Amino acid sequence: MSKTKQLRALLDPDRLDFILEAHNGLSARIAEEAGFKAIWASGLAISASLGVRDNNEASWTQMLEVAEYMADATRVPILLDGDTGHGNFNNFRRFVRKLEQRGIAGVCIEDKVFPKTNSFLRGETQPLAAMDEFCGKISAGKESRQDADFVIVARTEALIAGWGLAEAVRRAEAYRVAGADAIVVHSAQSKPDEVFAFLEAWAGRHPVILIPTKYHTTPTEAFAQRRVSALIWANHLMRASLTAMQRCARQIRRDNTISGVEEEVAPLREVFRLQGDAELQSAEERFLAASPRRSAIILAATRGSGALYPLTAAVPKCLLRVGGVSLLDRLCDNLAALNTREITVVAGYRAETIVRAGLLRVENAAWATTGELSSLALAAGALHGPGLLAFGDILCRRHILASLLDDDADLVVAADRRIRQPGAQGGRARDLLRLSEPAAHAFLDAECQAVAAAFSPTYGDYDAEWIGLLKYSATGAGWIRAWLEANRGRPDFIQGGVIDLLAGLLAEGRKVKVHVVSGDWTTVEDACDLAEASNL
């Protein structure tokens, strides 16, 4: 049943229903969970929550925005306190159209002049609108609605203003004839006598809704016996929240700590529940399934070469800083920006210093006597695609990572045609690749034909240097896990590098795609590298 039909059903005088005030999406959801079949979007409560007076100081668009959040948060209908309709007949008919667009089921308007004053403030001094003008406003609202079940309730303030019972009945009848779906007769007296007198004179000719804020001690059965359609509890959630917030604020200020109130306030999990976090989690499982969660493994167990020892006395190489940010944090930040949710770091030297929220740390206690393959084998449980394997000392621009992660191939590496040459002076070996494309096609993606860890005398046999990034699909991750399991018993496995893994996969006939890059990356092997890295 649509929300408008639900609200219309509550106008049945043969059954007394109850409508509770709410003033934002959270309180509306609380009212619905409590079992109320409809919600009163109170003008007083919404104004108070915005910190302004109930004198039309909140504009109709602001009221509309709050009501929309309330409608989005609930499945029960909302009857909006529309004050005087926020202007003349033309303003009101536009207001009705906008309420329908935002999912509001009905509106109640009162026969006072704009801007209004709350009924319980100097009520007898408040002027009423001309009856004929107000009837025209009702008619205009009815004509402008798109849904015939949208409810328009007319509220007469004749008793509040001291105009007497006869005038209240006369106005209510005129509003009924003009097309109002129900009548609210309001009273500021602490007893229901004048309201009951109205009901007797009214004789059940049209649905009546009451707001017993002042005569709240009246037994509910008395309203049911007089065939009142619904009662509106008009401001109690707002008032209850004021009491609770004032008490909490005073105690925190007095104690200068929140420990005294923590057990009295709602736990954060209740806030998240009311906000619908469970639905979001479920939606993520459904809608993010088409875009699998990416993972990454970062090999960062080493202290670095002896040239870096003065800089790595207290931290591993991956925590050396460039521009005030560590190599590891830069890499993790870039991966996170590319929707890489699960990052595993294999730590070794000074492992306890590698701490980052959301990071899974695996420790290689034998880092000093083992190589990259040993570290990778320890993280084999995190090998599931799509994912990225990276060295912890690499610094590169984000587009290189993005191009690898966006590639659908099962195994993809990044390589630079310009091979660094410090190996000629006795530096460490470079990870070299022989490509399927000749040098003339330097910037085309290629297929890797052979790999080697080589020093300068053999550089001429290779086309590019692998930069320490390997992307794998779910299938590729399976190949890597299988190779690690099958080869972990080899004597050279303990000291082996990832380049040996690539060679093994190529020997098995696996295709390794190569993204060719030109610059925009570096690794840190000595203090000069660290200084030059800031250029990136």
Q: Which residues are catalytic?
A: 54
Which residues are 430's β-sheet partners?
454
Q: Is the peptide bond before 13 cis (omega within 30 degrees of 0)?
A: no
CA dihedral 374, 380, 382, 388 (to 10 degrees): 70
C-alpha 434/C-alpha 436 separation (Å) is 7
Please report which helix (H) or strand (E) contains residue 505, including its range: helix 498-507
Please report which helix (H) or strand (E) contains residue 43, including its range: helix 43-49
One-character DSSP codes across 423-473: GGGT-PPEEEEEESS-GGGTTS-EEEEEEEEE-GGGGGG-SEEEEEEEEE-
What residues contact residue 286 under an 8 Å CB cut-off, 6+ apart?
none
| Separation in Å, CA 105 to CA 6, 173, 221, 487 | 8, 23, 27, 69
Among 36, 39, 110, 113, which residue's Cα sits nearest to residue 71? 39
Which residues are 38's β-sheet partners?
19
Tokens of 125: 């001094």
Contact 406, 517 (CB under 8 A): no
C-alpha 109/C-alpha 478 separation (Å) is 67
Secondary structure in 3-state letters for 283-332: HHHHHCCCCCCEEEEEEECCCCCHHHCCCCCCCCHHHCEECCEEHHHHHH
What residues contact residue 488 under an 8 Å CB cut-off, 6+ apart?
377
C-alpha 378/C-alpha 363 separation (Å) is 8
Q: What residue type is 81 in one-letter code?
A: D
Radius of gyration of the chain (CA): 36
- Read off φ and ψ for residue 257, nearest 5 degrees: -160, 155
Q: What residue type is 237 in one-letter code?
A: L
Taking residue 522's Cβ as centre, other Cβ atoms within 10 Å add up to 20
| Separation in Å, CA 236 to CA 86, 113, 193, 364 | 24, 26, 23, 61
C-alpha 215/C-alpha 192 separation (Å) is 6
User: SS3 for 406?
Assistant: coil
Please report which helix (H) or strand (E) contains residue 138, including its range: helix 131-144
